[in-house]
């Protein structure tokens, strides 16, 4: 005979364990995808760990400067003067690692005899798209939709480089988003939303990470 508390505990335990199952399946898919992209499973595990942990790590590019800031509260009705820090950094997980990976894929494409011109043309188009999609929100910095860049990157890779689609999608999406959304908006972002700005971090990291997922699934 099964008592109600036992059923309840089993039911709760199943739903608590369910996200873990999805997480394991997700990482298995990503590992297989990166293996097909030319990266070993062992290195993929390290890479995923670095990307996730690296999302919390920002490497300074410029020196920190103290600036005057107004802190807005209660829907902008109250403004309180204060001192803030202005600096620019590059995010390890959403900036530096994707750039290094993109460089590796470009080298593999060149080594395999693929022309880099179509990839660069598609990346330029992605830069224009990311620039038009990116928004600067005071207090948050540069923000871009997490789902749109991966879709455009996959589409452009399919149009321009169908025989090297998965790696090209990663290069197009990562470099295009980082340049278009972050780099081309840095000066304007510092004026509209002065403070600490991270290339590949904040509102851009989610898009970069999803670009990596879509690229591996394409493989």
- pLDDT greater than 70 at residue 19: no
> Distance (Å, rounded) from C-alpha 185 to C-alpha 102?
21
What pLDDT digit, counting tens, does each position of 70-110 carry? 665 555 555 666 566 677 889 998 889 989 989 988 988 88
Q: Which of 54, 108, 91, 92 is CA-nearest to residue 219?
A: 108
> Distance (Å, rounded) from C-alpha 46 to C-alpha 126?
28
Q: What is the pLDDT of residue 179?
A: 94
What pTM value is reported for the model?
A: 0.74
> Helix (H, G, I), strand (E, B), or coil: what is residue 134?
coil
For residue 146, the 8-state DSSP code is S
Q: How confident is the model at residue 30 (pLDDT cuts 50, 70, 90)?
A: low
Q: What is the pLDDT of residue 53?
A: 83
Alpha helices per DSSP H over 80-141: 97-111, 116-133
CA dihedral 18, 23, 25, 29 (to 10 degrees): 160
> Helix (H, G, I), strand (E, B), or coil: what is residue 42?
helix
């Amino acid at each position: 005979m099964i008592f109600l508390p036992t059923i309840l505990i089993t039911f709760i335990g199943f739903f608590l364990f369910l996200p873990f199952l999805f997480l394991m399946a997700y990482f298995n898919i990503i590992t297989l995808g990166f293996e097909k992209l030319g990266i070993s499973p062992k290195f993929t595990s390290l890479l995923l760990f670095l990307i996730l942990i690296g999302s919390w790590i920002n490497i300074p590019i410029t020196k920190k400067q103290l600036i005057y800031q107004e802190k807005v509260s209660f829907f902008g009705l109250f403004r309180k003067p204060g001192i803030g820090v202005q600096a620019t950094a590059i995010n390890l997980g959403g900036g530096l690692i994707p750039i290094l990976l993109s460089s590796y894929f470009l080298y593999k494409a060149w080594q395999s005899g693929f022309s880099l011109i179509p990839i660069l043309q598609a990346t330029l188009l992605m830069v224009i798209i990311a620039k038009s999609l990116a928004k600067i929100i005071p207090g948050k910095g540069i923000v871009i939709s997490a789902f749109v860049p991966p879709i455009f990157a996959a589409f452009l890779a399919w149009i321009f480089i169908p025989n090297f689609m998965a790696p090209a999608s990663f290069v197009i999406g990562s470099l295009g988003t980082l340049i278009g959304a972050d780099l081309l908006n840095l000066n304007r972002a510092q004026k509209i939303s002065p403070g600490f700005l991270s290339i590949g971090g904040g509102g851009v990291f989610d898009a970069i990470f999803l670009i990596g997922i879509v690229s591996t699934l394409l493989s």
